[in-house]
Amino acid sequence: MEKEEKTSGSEIPNLGLSNRDIARQRLLNRDGTFNSRRVGLPFWETFNFYHYLVGVSWFKFSLIIFTGYVTLNLLFAVVYYLLGVDTHLLGVIANSEFDKFMESFFFSAQSFTTVGYGRISPVGMWTSSIAAFESLVGLMCLAIATGLFYGRFSKPVSKVLYSRNAVITSFKDVTAFQFRIANEQKSELIDVEVRVMFSILRDENSNSPNRKYYILNLEFSKINFFSLIWTVNHIIDNESPLNGLTKDDLTKGHAEFLILVQGYDDTFMSNVHSRSSYRHNEILWNSKFANVYGFDDEGRTTVSLDKISDVE
Amino acid sequence: MEKEEKTSGSEIPNLGLSNRDIARQRLLNRDGTFNSRRVGLPFWETFNFYHYLVGVSWFKFSLIIFTGYVTLNLLFAVVYYLLGVDTHLLGVIANSEFDKFMESFFFSAQSFTTVGYGRISPVGMWTSSIAAFESLVGLMCLAIATGLFYGRFSKPVSKVLYSRNAVITSFKDVTAFQFRIANEQKSELIDVEVRVMFSILRDENSNSPNRKYYILNLEFSKINFFSLIWTVNHIIDNESPLNGLTKDDLTKGHAEFLILVQGYDDTFMSNVHSRSSYRHNEILWNSKFANVYGFDDEGRTTVSLDKISDVE
Amino acid sequence: MEKEEKTSGSEIPNLGLSNRDIARQRLLNRDGTFNSRRVGLPFWETFNFYHYLVGVSWFKFSLIIFTGYVTLNLLFAVVYYLLGVDTHLLGVIANSEFDKFMESFFFSAQSFTTVGYGRISPVGMWTSSIAAFESLVGLMCLAIATGLFYGRFSKPVSKVLYSRNAVITSFKDVTAFQFRIANEQKSELIDVEVRVMFSILRDENSNSPNRKYYILNLEFSKINFFSLIWTVNHIIDNESPLNGLTKDDLTKGHAEFLILVQGYDDTFMSNVHSRSSYRHNEILWNSKFANVYGFDDEGRTTVSLDKISDVE
Amino acid sequence: MEKEEKTSGSEIPNLGLSNRDIARQRLLNRDGTFNSRRVGLPFWETFNFYHYLVGVSWFKFSLIIFTGYVTLNLLFAVVYYLLGVDTHLLGVIANSEFDKFMESFFFSAQSFTTVGYGRISPVGMWTSSIAAFESLVGLMCLAIATGLFYGRFSKPVSKVLYSRNAVITSFKDVTAFQFRIANEQKSELIDVEVRVMFSILRDENSNSPNRKYYILNLEFSKINFFSLIWTVNHIIDNESPLNGLTKDDLTKGHAEFLILVQGYDDTFMSNVHSRSSYRHNEILWNSKFANVYGFDDEGRTTVSLDKISDVE
């Protein structure tokens, strides 16, 4: 595939995205997730808890941490309670068995977080040992919780903004396929590369329709800085797989343009990736993207990112 | 080697995998570990404790952490006990010397984890100093323990699934060597590259047999996304080192195909690597991989990863 | 753009740095920041708190951490105070309501940091629960604070020193554009690459002035080690976009040279980037950089980094 | 330089390693450090504290952490002492002013590490506030200490073992320059690349001696796995800068071979780099490296890394 990238419109393998002879639905969603599902493997072989905790919403993440904290403390509370509150926990203030259990629970929480006020303190071999063990367990579990918390907080976000539509328009005497992307964040992206794959169903009315994939040649596929906005441009020349195709052809062929953007984020010091796609009905024909440049009061160039999708 | 990768079947160096004139055993195990051993260096020069603790099983890891925790606390307990429990530890509740030692131990654990209930507290210059020192030591040691714990938890796993067998089969009028790999995890792998090396013993009955290594040219060696499944394909043309070889030749030559898969994991934001190999007796001749695609109830494409090894 | 880098002086896209028909001001500041602004998006979509906290000055960072610490403790103090200090906080020493509130505040701080002296300790269901919750919240928040603190401390700094001016001078019978960079840090930079882009306003007096961007071919664009100093050299041959341009032309065209340096830092084990630029009025014509090499007392080569900008 | 790497013996720039017309001493030490010094910049501009703490010996590192811990606690102890021990620290056990200061010190340590036994506890606005502040400061400072501690512990080590000497020997009818490297660690290195630069002083007896640098073409410059041992091989053909040079020429020219090894460590999931060099007097002429392969009792291939420097 590396060699073929040089030519305009080389066919590439089907990417494992779809059954060869169907896939009339969208392949890649606008948010970059794939529209296919793997089946046949037991849940635990494909599930990764870390992966889940990194990707889940902040609300669910907080709930999981909180629930885990309460559950573990309840478990230890039961142990302390069964070992005997009266004799093995010093300083307990309780009027009932329920109070005693709650004091066990709070003692557990104070050991788990290593806050250890000491109003309640362990006495005797077993309770002291369990408490010493709980502090170690607490430190280890909280390492996961705080590590994930910080990891989620510091995770690079590359909010690449895509224009709502792509356009097929005339440009410098030739027709071109274009879309715009913008760097929504204040950080600089460096060495940004865009790859565009075009997919279409061939012989869609025959008995053996066949989904084909092509990589599209771009006028520029890599830029050094990506500070503001970039109009990605594929010129539809004779060698382009789009050559001669009409709006109707794209619709019949369930055509889709898959976009892959990657670069290096200077602030997060990490590679960032973004995916999106344009389906045939998201292509505007004979439209041109509108100007987004202007000036501020101090004469500096401004770029209106809210106009990224504007066409004229 | 870079230049040669372009041609189909170029010889490459022996990779340091084996003695040139023997190696009739497997070179690379199915799980990606090498079947050779380095000798001659003292243990401590080749051993790396971090490396060991990252790779060891969860059970052994927990045992090591727990044992280290108990051992360090015992050491400090001995110091506190020798410095005198009665005069230098306030609040000790003990009926015997053993009880006093245990109180020293629990005080040590409470200092080490910084839980510091305070029922037992240090008095006097020496015991207070040792306790202040122990808290620092504890924080440092626990940084290693919790760092490793989190590091193991968050370590990228690229569970690349390999088909049980490779096949040599006819494909588009030519014969091809094929195997299938699948991405077992839910994360997307990006820019995945596969390299296949073929190794065979030449002149295996002569006095100077010679193990040769070749890099095999692949129809596609790199794909942009690796969401689901990929059939890796080497076409056996005139320039392939496999050209003209029969099943019998591979067996006599103790042939082996070494596989290296690498890519970028979007979730773990890290490069991932996977290795495996197929020996001559793991090649199915004239078989074809079975279809793995299907539909779910909502009409979405599904891929049955449990059928990855199915042939027809 | 990749292909074009081979030729000397190929045009490249406008980088999204400026409006096509103006930009008479500086494009890139000497410190590597861009001289343009994005507008039109709501503040919260472009703002990233982590990004802000990593980039802010140490003084502001400390102030934010301290203020956050005090604020959160005040919030919890209010809760403890409202739940009742007399009945639910044991050991409070207070003569007035203000004292009670302050004791609540200090108890909160002792719970938040998990120092938990225990002179003040929680009693009763609600206060104990809030305290257990606060310890968890404290650990999570402090993970962010300490993580950022360490992250800022360990952030790779690639202090690339640029000569104050670039020169256009004769060198080996041809004219060349040159500037010097030095590695200010003691760490070694490996595989350092420099890219130079030249930008000039064409037809600047016509109705449609047009800012053009070119990538300049360098005598050497990549070096294996960057230990000390490097004179970056673009030879102005027939194919150079600088060919035939006079000092006056550069001034009229608001010419600017954009510099991008990147490499791998051996100590921080991370990629590092640096940007700078030279405007037309920062070019010295017919000057030559002065010698920076010398010897120390032991006969070792020395490089005087303070002479990096010296010309003769 | 990229293009030139294809040819055997292309000249490269002087790397900023040495003054053009001298440098008769070693350029690069065997351990990979450079034999030159930068001067002229104030200490604080070139010094990076993190960099220093990562590279310093374990003994010095421990000493710095310990000294920092004691110093900070002394500072806070002075503050607590001046604020008044009798009235503002509860539970102090002291017979003298010195005892009171020591109790302040231990209280400080207990706050700094958040162990907070509570035998000594702060009372009153000022002391409580300072204690709350110290716990925050302690957590931040300990984040640096523990972060560095873990960072040093988990730092990738690529102990590349170099043969003591390089050899110039005949190999396949041609003469070749060879040296051996081994992977001392148990981890696998992937995609290992070796680059060899040859440096010699030309016209060393003239008035203008000139140190030249060449990149040497290697038979294989990159291997996929680096499990055990690798003999790096430069064939001295007509285009080699070594062509026609005798042992005497190398000595007169103060010749030196600079070695750069880099790869990806599978265990540490990080790029690793190693540098070394061979001077003219470290080249053995007409020697051949001895065999290092053998078998263990189970018939597996073994590689004796202690024989890496053995020649025959």
Q: Per residue in A257-290, pLDDT tens?
A: 999 998 888 777 778 888 899 999 999 998 889 8
Tokens for D148? Answer: 């560095």
Give the relative orientation of helices C125-153 and D125-153 as an angle to the nearest 10 degrees. Answer: 50
Question: Minimal Cα–Cα distance from B299 to chain D, Å?
Answer: 40
Q: Is the pLDDT of residue D158 over 60?
A: yes
Q: Please tell me the predicted confidence (pLDDT) of residue C171.
A: 66
Whether A118 and chain D come into contact, CB under 8 Å, resolves to yes
For D259-279, how does the pLDDT look when each residue is reduced to its tens digit (9 = 90+)? 999 888 877 777 888 889 999
Whether B117 and chain C come into contact, CB under 8 Å, resolves to yes
Which of B201-205, B243-247, D113-117 bottoms out in mean pLDDT, i.e. has the lowest?
B201-205
In sequence order, the 6+-apart residues with CB closer than 8 A to the CB of C1 are: A220, A221, A222, A223, C10, C12, C13, C215
CB C201 within 8 A of CB C23: yes
Please tell me chain B's helix, strand, coil percentages from 3-state DSSP, rounded to the nearest 5.
Answer: 35, 30, 35
For D21-30, how does the pLDDT look when each residue is reduced to its tens digit (9 = 90+)? 455 677 788 8
Which of C9-13, C82-86, D148-152, D170-174 bottoms out in mean pLDDT, i.e. has the lowest?
C9-13
Q: Is the pLDDT of residue D14 over 60?
A: no
Question: Minimal Cα–Cα distance from D152 to chain A, Å?
Answer: 19
What is the rounded CA–CA span in Å between residue B303 and residue B294? 6
Determine which helix (DSSP H) or strand (DSSP E) holds D74, and give its type and residue range: helix D58-83
What is the rounded CA–CA span in Å between residue C203 and residue C211? 9
From residue A280, how far is each of A26, A28, A165, D8 by CA, in Å?
10, 13, 10, 52
Tokens for C218? Answer: 């360098």
Q: Please tell me the predicted confidence (pLDDT) of residue A295.
A: 73
Q: Is the pLDDT of residue B206 over 70?
A: no
Q: Please tell me the predicted confidence (pLDDT) of residue A299.
A: 66
DSSP E strands in A28-101: the ranges are 36-39, 89-90
Whether A90 and chain C come into contact, CB under 8 Å, resolves to no
For A195-252, how does the pLDDT look when each residue is reduced to its tens digit (9 = 90+)? 999 988 887 666 666 778 888 999 888 887 776 788 899 999 888 999 989 999 999 8
Mean pLDDT on D242-249 = 92
Whether D47 and chain A come into contact, CB under 8 Å, resolves to no
Q: Which residue from A33, A35, A14, A5 is spatially nearest to A209, judged by alpha carbons?
A: A14
What is the rounded CA–CA span in Å between residue D141 and residue D73? 12
Put simply, the answer to whether C271 touches A264 (Cβ < 8 Å) is yes
Please tell me chain C's helix, strand, coil percentages from 3-state DSSP, rounded to the nearest 5.
Answer: 30, 30, 35
More confident residue, D254 or C270: D254
Whether C26 and chain A come into contact, CB under 8 Å, resolves to no
What is the rounded CA–CA span in Å between residue B24 and residue B26? 7
Taking a contact as any Cβ pair under 8 Å apart, which residues of chain C between 50 and 89 contact chain B?
none
End-to-end CA distance of chain D: 37
Q: Is the pLDDT of residue D32 over 90?
A: no
Percent of chain D topping pLDDT 90: 48
Residues of chain C with pLDDT under 50: 1-8, 18-21
CB D113 within 8 A of CB B132: yes
Determine which helix (DSSP H) or strand (DSSP E) holds C71, and give its type and residue range: helix C58-83
Q: Is the pLDDT of residue D146 over 60?
A: yes
Residue A67 has, within 13 A of its CA and on its CB side, a CA count of 6
Q: Please tell me the predicted confidence (pLDDT) of residue C23.
A: 56
Mean pLDDT on B276-281 = 93
Residue C281 is classified by DSSP as G
Whether ipTM exceeds 0.90: no
What is the rounded CA–CA span in Å between residue D214 and residue D245? 14
Q: Delineate the domains of chain D, giving CATH numbers in brackets.
A: 3-37+157-307 (2.60.40.1400), 46-153 (1.10.287.70)
Q: Contact partners of B by the rule of 3+ C-beta pairs under 8 A?
A: A, C, D
Tokens for D272? Answer: 């690793």
From residue A144, how far is each of A53, A222, B200, B265 by CA, in Å?
10, 38, 47, 21
Q: Which residue from B121, B151, B133, B126 is spatially nearest to B53, judged by alpha carbons?
A: B151
- Amino acid at site C244: G
Q: Please tell me the predicted confidence (pLDDT) of residue C3.
A: 36
What is the rounded CA–CA span in Å between residue B245 and residue B247? 7
Strands A293-295 and A89-90: unpaired
Q: Please tell me the predicted confidence (pLDDT) of residue A23.
A: 55
Q: Please tell me the predicted confidence (pLDDT) of residue A207.
A: 61
Residue with token string 């991405």:
B183
Whether A309 and chain C come into contact, CB under 8 Å, resolves to no
Put simply, the answer to whether D266 touches B260 (Cβ < 8 Å) is no
What is the rounded CA–CA span in Å between residue C253 and residue C248? 8
What is the rounded CA–CA span in Å between residue A113 and residue A139? 7
The count of other CB atoms within 10 Å of the CB of residue A21 is 15
Q: Please tell me the predicted confidence (pLDDT) of residue C264.
A: 85
Whether A302 and chain C come into contact, CB under 8 Å, resolves to yes
Q: State the sign of the Cα–Cα–Cα–Cα dihedral D288, D289, D290, D294.
A: negative
Q: Please tell me the predicted confidence (pLDDT) of residue A2.
A: 36
Q: Is the pLDDT of residue D132 over 80?
A: yes
Taking a contact as any Cβ pair under 8 Å apart, which residues of chain B between 179 and 208 contact chain D?
195, 197
- Amino acid at site C53: L
What is the rounded CA–CA span in Å between residue C311 and residue C291? 9
Whether B32 and chain C come into contact, CB under 8 Å, resolves to no
Q: Contact partners of D by the rule of 3+ C-beta pairs under 8 A?
A: A, B, C
- Per DSSP, the three-state class of B60 is helix
Determine which helix (DSSP H) or strand (DSSP E) holds B293, and give its type and residue range: strand B293-295
Percent of chain D topping pLDDT 70: 87
Taking a contact as any Cβ pair under 8 Å apart, which residues of chain A between 216 and 255 contact chain C?
219-230
Out of B69, B227, B296, whose CB is closest to A136? B69
Which ranges of D154-272 does DSSP label H, i.e. alpha helix? 247-252
Q: Please tell me the predicted confidence (pLDDT) of residue B132.
A: 96
Tokens for D211? Answer: 């140190």
Q: Please tell me the predicted confidence (pLDDT) of residue A264.
A: 85
Q: Is the pLDDT of residue B163 over 70?
A: yes
Q: Please tell me the predicted confidence (pLDDT) of residue C299.
A: 66
Tens digits of pLDDT across chain A (312 residues): 333 333 445 666 655 554 444 556 777 888 877 776 767 777 777 778 888 898 899 999 999 999 999 999 999 999 999 999 999 999 999 999 999 999 999 999 999 999 999 999 999 999 999 999 999 999 999 999 999 999 898 887 667 889 999 999 886 678 999 999 988 877 778 888 999 999 888 876 666 667 788 889 998 888 877 767 888 999 998 889 999 899 999 998 889 999 999 888 877 777 888 889 999 999 999 888 988 877 777 766 778 888 889 998
Q: Please tell me the predicted confidence (pLDDT) of residue B118.
A: 93
Mean pLDDT on D1-11 = 44
Q: Is the pLDDT of residue B296 over 90?
A: no
- Per DSSP, the three-state class of A87 is helix
Q: Which residues from chain A sit within 8 angstroms of residue B186, using beta carbons? A: 38, 46-48, 51
Put simply, the answer to whether C118 touches B118 (Cβ < 8 Å) is yes
Q: Which residue from B265, B281, B57 is spatially nearest to B165, judged by alpha carbons?
A: B281
Backbone angle region of D286, left / alpha / beta, with phi > 0 → left and psi within -120 to 50 → alpha:
left
Q: Please tell me the predicted confidence (pLDDT) of residue A12.
A: 65
Tokens for C119? Answer: 């002179």
What is the rounded CA–CA span in Å between residue A177 and residue A219? 10
Q: Which span out of A276-280, B39-43, C4-8, D157-161 was modeled with the highest average pLDDT?
A: A276-280
Whether B116 and chain C come into contact, CB under 8 Å, resolves to yes
Q: Which residue from A158, A225, A193 is spatially nearest to C34, judged by alpha carbons?
A: A225
Q: Is the pLDDT of residue D1 over 50?
A: no
Question: Minimal Cα–Cα distance from C117 to chain B, Å?
Answer: 8
Whether A114 and chain D come into contact, CB under 8 Å, resolves to yes
